[in-house]
Amino acid sequence: MKCASGGELGRTLWSALEVMGIIPEGTSSAPYIDDSTTPDTVITMVTDLFYTAEKRGIDRVAQKRKHLVKAFRGLAPHTLDSVKNKYEMDFRLFGYERDPPEFNEQPP
């Protein structure tokens, strides 16, 4: 098994930050992350994007929710039911919706 390069890890991290709503979606800096990009450079780019998005009022919660819905829509119904059953106590303890309405809507 081949280890991921620094550039591959950086781009994967970038995608994860978009999914989590930390940076806005579709930012163009990810393609510029390569094996020569230092961690300090990535931190600076992410921090700048975070604060720019904050000033522009980007809805981080909605962005994160969109990615969550997309991920869950990709699961087979029996798999989704297994996940719901496994985490039933979390739904109760933390007030999570077991069947959010967005999961049942057809994608645009």
Instruction: Tally the domains of the chain.
Output: 2
pLDDT tens by residue, 16-35: 888 888 888 877 667 678 88
Domain-embedded: residue 96: yes
Report the pLDDT averaged over residues 47-71. Answer: 86
- The pTM assigned to this predicted structure is 0.64
Instruction: Identify the three-state secondary structure at position 43.
Output: helix
Output the pLDDT for position 86: 93
Domain-embedded: residue 82: yes
- Structural element, H or E, at residue 107: none
CB 27 within 8 A of CB 49: yes
CA atoms of 51 and 33, how far apart (whole Å): 20
Domain-embedded: residue 53: yes
- Say what the alpha-carbon torsion angle 37, 42, 43, 47 is, to the nearest 10 degrees: 150
Domain that holds residue 79: 75-103
Pick the closest to residue 24 from 1, 2, 56 (CA basis): 56
pLDDT tens by residue, 78-92: 998 898 899 999 988
